[in-house]
Amino acid sequence: MADVPSEKARRQHGAARLAIFCGLMVVLIAALVSLGVWQVERLSWKEDLIARVDQRVHQVPVPAPARAEWGQVTRGADEYRHVTAEGILQNDKETLIYASTTLGAGYWVIAPLKLADGTSILINRGFVPTDRRDPATRSKGQIATPVKITGLLRITEPKGTLIRSNDPADDRWYSRDVAAIADRRHVADVAPYFVDADATPNPGGLPVGGLTQIAFPNNHLVYAMTWFALAIMAAGLLVFVVHGEMRARRA
């Protein structure tokens, strides 16, 4: 008779552990399904973004946003818009940004473009290899006459990259941080964006424009399938454990 309470307590303890396990597994399955649904939503957002950017890139160029429109420029609505701007390049305020491109390692050449209304836009004129970083080695490309720049509107890249931070004090740059560059070069009334110049050849062949890489990683479908697969596996494990426990009790 002494074994009966012990057996009852053992069964109650087992039932409690099973209930806790089932509760945790239900929470886990719900979380995995939620992550899968979120990735499906991200997939839809990414496909829409790619379609919108592709449309902007191939549209007829429009004038770059003027001062009155600066506050309305956003990444979602304006990045990679095909734009034009006319003015005079301030070559004496050139900034070099470290770059790794399809042409090798070197620098982006960033120069302010002074517009007729007194405002400026930073222009990424293109790429130069390391041995041509000195403007004296590409003097033909230092255009002094008014120019019309056509290219893609880009949003500022503050502070640096994930790997390296900009060092304005030492004039070392790894991203196109509009505000910091303008401050370092004493450029007033500068637009909050910059423009990647297109492939129109510069005198002397440098800088080389038109190297903007437009690529958006789109692995959301793979991620969604992974989360849903894990949810199915977790559900299968839950069914297996519960079924095994029920068989053991019947036995």
User: The CATH number of the domain where 95 resides is what?
Assistant: 2.40.50
Confidence of residue 208 (pLDDT cuts 50, 70, 90): very high
Confidence of residue 251 (pLDDT cuts 50, 70, 90): low
Quick count: other Cβ atoms within 10 Å of Cβ 49? 14
Check if the beta carbon of residue 106 is closer than 8 Å to that of residue 133: yes
Same domain, 128 and 165: yes
Confidence of residue 233 (pLDDT cuts 50, 70, 90): very high
Same domain, 166 and 194: yes
Q: What is the pLDDT of residue 171?
A: 95
Measure the CA–CA gap between 210 and 198, rounded to whole angstroms: 4
Same domain, 97 and 200: yes
Q: Is the pLDDT of residue 245 over 60?
A: yes
Same domain, 236 and 164: no
Would 210 be classed as within a structural domain? no
Q: Is the pLDDT of residue 182 over 60?
A: yes
Same domain, 168 and 108: yes
- In sequence order, the 6+-apart residues with CB closer than 8 A to the CB of 212 are 151, 152, 154, 196
Q: Which of 196, 168, 11 is nearest to 95 (CA)?
A: 168
User: Mean of the pLDDT values across residues 232-246?
Assistant: 86
Q: What is the pLDDT of residue 16?
A: 81
How many domains are there within the chain? 2
Tens digit of pLDDT for each residue in 157-179? 999 998 899 999 999 999 999 99
Would 187 be classed as within a structural domain? yes
DSSP state of 45: H
Would 194 be classed as within a structural domain? yes
Same domain, 88 and 189: yes
Same domain, 138 and 30: no
Q: Is the pLDDT of residue 9 over 80?
A: no
Higher pLDDT, 11 or 110: 110
Q: Is the pLDDT of residue 140 over 50?
A: yes
Tens digit of pLDDT for each residue in 43-66? 777 777 667 777 777 789 999 999
Same domain, 101 and 139: yes
Q: Which of 92, 91, 89, 95 is nearest to 171 (CA)?
A: 95
User: Mean of the pLDDT values across residues 83-106?
Assistant: 95
Q: Is the pLDDT of residue 1 over 60?
A: no
pTM above 0.85, yes or no: no
Same domain, 43 and 12: yes
Residue 196's domain comprises: 81-205
Same domain, 224 and 155: no
Same domain, 128 and 158: yes
Same domain, 133 and 185: yes
Q: What is the pLDDT of residue 124?
A: 98
> Highest mean pLDDT: which of 21-30, 140-149, 221-230?
140-149
